[in-house]
Amino acid sequence: MAEHFSAENRWWKWSDYVVKRGFICPAPGAKLISYDVWNLYRAKGRRGSSKRSPPYGDLIRLSNHIHFPRKMMTCEQESLILQWCRRFGLLGLLTEALVEVWLPQSTARDSLFRGERGHVHHERVARGWRSGFQVGPLPARIRNPKAILLRDGKPIEWTLGDLLATYFPSIQKAKRARFRMPMPLSDSFWAIYCEPVDSFVLRAKELSRAVEGIGQVRADPALAYSGMELLNGLTKHVRPLLVRERNSRWGQTWVAPSLISVFSMMAMLDCLKGRRTIRCQRCGMTITTSNPTTLYCGNTCRWAGQKRQQRGQPVAGESKLGRPATVTAGGTA
């Protein structure tokens, strides 16, 4: 019997995280929390303000101040990554690319096929994931238990051992061959899922380069084109979905397999609305604005920046993370 799991608008985070052997992992005793990630975007877009700090802005700011690779990071920088994960969760690097998993032969546990030998099969569908059990041998096209991922639009095959070693480091090597991987995005999945620190930072920096590039459409068309290609790649797994709203009218939402693809879609929507992404020249906060002259996140930073300018000091101050807060996207004002 197939088990369905819907992931509309939701994402998951643990209340606490730790870094173990180069992986970002749930901390012992942490609580799993599900939240509506798009609510964060809508809340930041309330009427009456020409500028706002989008959810993806915090990830861009973080990536701009983290050294890569991990061996060059400081303890403070690792702490900043964990602090960000407590707010938003992991990026979903595996669920972004994973489309299908065939597990080793086992005995069915549900009432329909109880006692039968066969294979558990996880498959990504429009609204989330579906898990089923196929009695008997694997299909001819599969041959061996494996994971199928999409990279650059092409399917690639991973052995289950490689998959578990990359994203589930708590599973001992001797147990990987018979491990029954939970359905992606389920509570059991999140309990053991981890992300390599280097992969996390690399993906975050890709989003930062994409947003920076599309903001230079007039000043540097080549950089803008590169940013466009990056952003298109980051959003290729996002799809619109028709939903029925409370007032019995039809509405539209977005379904994405990962948090990084959700954030990338938010950046694309802001771009299409004519909003540019900048970093406040005083505190370094990343904001989007429709005002072509905006340099600061608010009056407090604007007043402080004007005072510095009057004293003959550089307008761009130091960000809270200790680096100059310069414009990162949207061109110069």
Burial-class residue 17 by CB neighbours within 10 Å (0-12, 13-18, 19+). buried
Query: What pLDDT digit, counting tens, does each position of 222-248 carry?
Result: 998 999 999 999 999 998 888 888 788
Query: What pLDDT digit, counting tens, does each position of 99-145 carry?
Result: 999 999 888 777 677 778 888 999 998 888 999 888 888 888 888 89
Query: What pLDDT digit, counting tens, does each position of 15-47 carry?
Result: 999 999 999 999 999 999 999 988 888 876 554
Report how far residue 277's alpha carbon sits from residue 280's, in angstroms, rounded to the nearest whole number: 10
Query: What pLDDT digit, counting tens, does each position of 136-179 carry?
Result: 888 888 888 999 999 888 899 999 999 999 999 999 988 888 89
Instruction: For strands 10-14 and 51-52, give the pairing.
Output: unpaired
Tokens for 106?
């086992």
Instruction: For strands 17-20 and 3-6, give the pairing.
Output: unpaired
Query: What domains does the chain contain, in order, with CATH numbers?
Result: 3-90+199-310 (1.10.3300), 93-193 (no CATH)
Query: What pLDDT digit, counting tens, does each position of 281-318 carry?
Result: 777 666 667 666 677 767 788 777 777 777 776 655 44
Predicted model pTM: 0.82
Alpha-helical (H) ranges within the chain are: 37-44, 55-63, 75-88, 93-97, 160-167, 187-192, 197-214, 221-234, 259-272, 299-310
Peptide bond into 69 cis (omega under 30): yes
What amino acid is encoded at 218 in this protein?
Answer: R
